[in-house]
Amino acid sequence: MSSGVIAMHSVKVHFGEGESAVLALDGMDLSIQSGEFVSVLGPSGCGKSTIIGAVAGFTRISAGELSVDGRAVTAPGPERGVVFQQHTLFPWKTALENVEFGLKMRGVGQRERRERAREILETVGLSEFSRHYPHQLSGGMQQRVNLARALVNRPRVLLMDEPFCSLDAQTRLQMQELVLALWEELHMTVVFVTHEVDEAVYLSDRVAVLSRRPARVKTWIEVDLPRPRTHALLTTPEFARLKREALDLLLGEARQPILEQRLPRSA
Amino acid sequence: MNAARISSVQATPLRSELESDAARALAPRPRASRAWMKSVAIGAVSIASWLALWEAASVYEWSFFFRFENIPAPTEVIRATGELLDSPKFASHLLSSLRRVFLGFSIATALAVTAGLVIGRFRLAAQALLPPLEILRPIPAVAWIPIAILLFASSERSMVFITFIGAFFPVLLNTIHGVERIDQRLINASRSLGANEFDVFREVVLPAALPSIVAGLSIGMGTSWFSLVTAEMISGQFGIGYYTWEAYTLQKYPSIVLGMIGIGVLGMGSSLLVKRVARLFMPWLRAEGAR
């Protein structure tokens, strides 16, 4: 159960065909241990979401090897939970029915799945809203339900694609603490894609800083800050040091194309 | 999972966030009954004014551009209605039309929704089925009448067929449209939660397309009435369309208007019924939103 080892070796991903084909990932190597919290940080449009899509099994890789717990990824599966940037709750199901979905697909009986869904909704602090439809919930609450829906399957890997970037700052902090608490409780492997430096450093064991497209891992930042972490960590000098390191790497990456445009290349 | 062990994460700021959200989600909406009564009153006055104009035009035999000398006045129609409601004839005309619409519309719904879901979801089905359907689609139901008479042994069946044709294409096209518009992320989400192809169909594709299907049903109900009335006028025995046309040939002019009103009321009623029934199947659209 508590495995969740992700291995990517020289993975390539193309989108489109022929002339208009775009190379999103080129020779991507990524090796993530069981139970690790890894963030993927990169400039926007660099292909970081493609990593999530590939591991989740939505996006087919064009070359290389990609496996989770030694099994090649060919299709989506419940052992790899996904939380997207915008909520993907089923609008026609209540919060409780959304959370139940994974259990229903596995053939768990109505009474048991209802009970387990209730339990996990309580864990994310939404037991009073079990009968609400997604459009009746705030953005933060929707993402809580999304998280609960993915976690009800007890995934070995939780893939999160900029899950909190459309939330306000305060809600985002609360969600980050919730994710950390759930992760410490459940010990699943987490891959967290973000463009926010603070978020990446605050949450992770390691941060993979990506290059511009086609994305490769440019540098790994080891975050050796103590756990459990709370938002108090965000104002410590150790945090600031790691944040600056990450920012330098990230901004260097973003600035480059502008310089290339301005300065004519010497022959 | 042990809920109690991680309940410590639900610190105070979280509670306040939830409570303000709860207040928004549960706040009662102001009632709009006064505005509703006002709009009903305006509608009633409008209908009454038009009826009064019509009455005057008939009584004074308006003859500029429109000739009202042979058009029965509303009061005459009301008198004819009284006579008709005493005899069972009118009711049996209505019933046979209702039966035809119910049959044709039901068959069209079953076939068009199934075909639409399959065409919308599977490219091969779209490639195979859409070209012939696209050729048939622009042919109005009325143009099918001669073929329908040849195709079926009884005129009853041919009329049901015409109603079927009338409803089929609106329902089909709206279903296809509904399926094609589904957010791919919802399908991805369901797959990553363990759904197989059949689950995706039942749990995601069908409910996601439902609002669009219902729009198609509502339009289809209108077109199937339209088609039926025409078919009854041409080839019918019994039925409200037949009744209306017969009234013309027998020079029972008030009955023409009565037939028309009957068609209007039945058409409106059945469209309303479709919408009402559909809402029962889509509770999430009824739920009042916080946002």
Q: Is A113 on the interface with B (CB under 8 A)?
A: no
Residue A267 has pLDDT above 70, yes or no: no
Share of chain A above pLDDT 70, in %: 94
Q: Is B290 on the interface with A (CB under 8 A)?
A: yes
Which residue, among A101, A157, A188, would best test binding to B if mutated, counting the most B CBs under 10 Å from its CB? A101
Residue B24 has pLDDT above 80, yes or no: no
Q: Is A5 on the interface with B (CB under 8 A)?
A: no
Q: Name every residue whose Cβ is closer than 8 Å to that of residue B177 and which is 6 or more positions away in sequence.
A: B120, B212
CB atoms within 10 A of CB B33: 7
Number of residue pairs across A and B with CB atoms under 8 Å? 127
Q: Look at residues B219, B217, B225 and name the one whose alpha carbon lies nearest to residue B282.
A: B217
Domains assigned to chain A: 1-79+157-250 (3.40.50.300), 89-154 (no CATH)
Question: Going edge to edge, which strands form the sheet with A37-41?
Answer: A80-83, A157-161, A189-194, A37-41, A206-210, A217-222
Tell me whether residues B1 and A123 touch, CB distance under 8 A. yes
ipTM of the complex as predicted: 0.85
Res A46: pLDDT: 76
Closest chain A residue by Cα to residue B284: A92
Q: Is B192 on the interface with A (CB under 8 A)?
A: yes
Region B235-245: what's the mean pLDDT?
86
- Give the predicted TM-score (pTM) of the model: 0.79
B3 band by pLDDT with thresholds 50, 70 and 90:
very low
Residue A92 has pLDDT above 80, yes or no: yes
Q: Is B282 on the interface with A (CB under 8 A)?
A: yes
Give the best-scoring range by mean pLDDT among A44-58, A183-197, B79-93, B236-250: A183-197
Helix (H) or strand (E) holding A30: strand A22-32
Residue B56 has pLDDT above 50, yes or no: yes
Residue B25 has pLDDT above 90, yes or no: no
Residue A234 has pLDDT above 70, yes or no: yes
Res B4: pLDDT: 42
Tell me whether residues A153 and B194 touch, CB distance under 8 A. yes
A117 band by pLDDT with thresholds 50, 70 and 90:
very high
pLDDT digits (tens, 9 = 90+) for A199-218: 999 999 999 998 887 788 88
Residue B10 has pLDDT above 50, yes or no: no
Q: What's the first-to-final CA gap in chain A, in angstroms?
A: 58
Q: What is the mean pLDDT of chain B?
A: 85
Residue B290: which of A80, A123, A136 has the nearest Cβ? A136
A126 interaction partners in chain B (CB closer than 8 Å): 18
Q: Is B199 on the interface with A (CB under 8 A)?
A: yes
Closest-CA distance of chain B to residue A123, Å: 5
Q: Is A150 on the interface with B (CB under 8 A)?
A: yes
B188 band by pLDDT with thresholds 50, 70 and 90:
very high
B188 interaction partners in chain A (CB closer than 8 Å): 56, 58, 76, 82, 88
Res A16: pLDDT: 82
Residue B32 has pLDDT above 70, yes or no: no
Residue A263 has pLDDT above 60, yes or no: no
Closest chain B residue by Cα to residue A178: B9
pLDDT digits (tens, 9 = 90+) for B85-106: 777 888 889 899 999 999 999 9
Gap between the Cα atoms of B227 and B230, Å rounded: 5
Closest chain B residue by Cα to residue A123: B3
pLDDT digits (tens, 9 = 90+) for B199-227: 999 999 999 999 999 999 999 999 999 89
Higher-confidence position of B288 and B50: B50
A89 band by pLDDT with thresholds 50, 70 and 90:
very high
Amino acid at site A21: A
